[in-house]
Amino acid sequence: MKLGLLLHNNTLFPHFTPSPPSISPQFFFKYPTFTGGKNLVLRVHSCCSKGESVQVVAESMDVKNELNKKLYEQIEPYATGFLKVSDVHTIYWEQSGNPSGHPVVFLHGGPGGGTSPSNRRFFDPEFYRIILFDQRGAGKSTPHACLEENTTWDLIKDIEKLREHLEIPEWQVFGGSWGSTLALAYSQTHPDKVTGIVLRGIFLLRKKEIDWFYEGGAAAIYPEAWEPFRDLIPENERDCFVKAYHKRLNSDDLNTQYEAARAWTKWEMMTAHLIPNEETIKKGDSDEFSLAFARIENHYFVNKGFFSTDSHLLDNIDKIRHINAVIVQGRYDCCCPMMSAWDLHKAWPEADFKGHSDK
């Protein structure tokens, strides 16, 4: 379940689509007269003449649901680079869209998933200055699949280093799945640098969420995908699959790492969409992608996200309560179940909550 906005006959329609969200019009800014809450100010540019804007108060509108599976056209970056963020790690970054536009940083999932060119298509390239980067050990960042100095708090420092490197005073934050986890953690740490937050497929990295997906809960929905994941682990180690995989993903034998990485990744890729996506599933066949994805993801889960408590993100909502935000969640999201978005909504009713019955 993803979020987009469509202009039709000069009326603003929120729409919900199984494809990634295309974000237009432009919204979720700090606004001089806005104090937070449900009257979310949206700025609409694409229906207006140049230099004009329209303010729309979302709660006061009689909006309609409309299905739209289209994204923005594929674009190429106008700038790319590598930023050394520690003695160990160097991260890849890129910018696309409008160099003078409103900056938005895209936080990818996993952790360990890396970015892809399609991520640029979430955003209106005429309005947004789109920043993508690969988190430590993922994608084009180096060293590949490295767990050393790789924690949530390291990633938050990297986001700030990248913002400063690109000379961006403040930006909008967009994240889904693990990206929503990192978006919340970053925004709670640096709320003064965030103009707005878009979250989709909420993941709060709590024990009950990890148990649901990796200890047999989601297996009830995808038994054919679960069995290969389960069967790699001997019966005497099945009391905790996350720990059993951790042992293999950190084995001294690279073939053992690859075997575990493929099984771990294939399980998630086969459950990531309501309708199976063959292109996504094939990622599990790539040793390079799987190793980073599985090792880094498992590393974070074994360490409970490096948070001090299981409810860390919910406990710190007051730090971002004033920021314009939207939460979008698919009812049938198996990887990031609805309960997490609902818990976040209850803790943060000021954010605009969009729960829907497709993904």
Q: What φ, ψ does residue 44 adopt, rounded to 5°?
A: -110, 120
Task: State how far the Cα of 144 lies from the Cα of 260, in Å rounded to an integer.
Answer: 17
The DSSP result for 263-306, as a single string, is: HHHHHHHHHSSSS--HHHHHGGG-HHHHHHHHHHHHHHHHTGGG
- Cβ-contact 72, 125 below 8 angstroms: yes
**Tokens linked to 223:** 């038994």
- Cβ-contact 328, 342 below 8 angstroms: no
Close Cβ partners of 212 (under 8 Å, ≥ 6 residues apart)? 218, 337
The helix (run of H) or strand (run of E) holding residue 245 is: helix 241-249
Nearest by Cα to 264 from 228, 235, 215: 228
Q: In what order do the strands lie in the sheet with 41-44?
A: 26-27, 41-44, 54-57
Task: State how far the Cα of 298 lies from the Cα of 304, in Å rounded to an integer.
Answer: 10
The residues that are catalytic are 177, 333, 356
Q: What φ, ψ does residue 325 adopt, rounded to 5°?
A: -155, 155
> Which residue type does 240 have?
C
- Cβ-contact 350, 321 below 8 angstroms: yes
What's the gap between Cα 222 and its chain centre?
Answer: 23
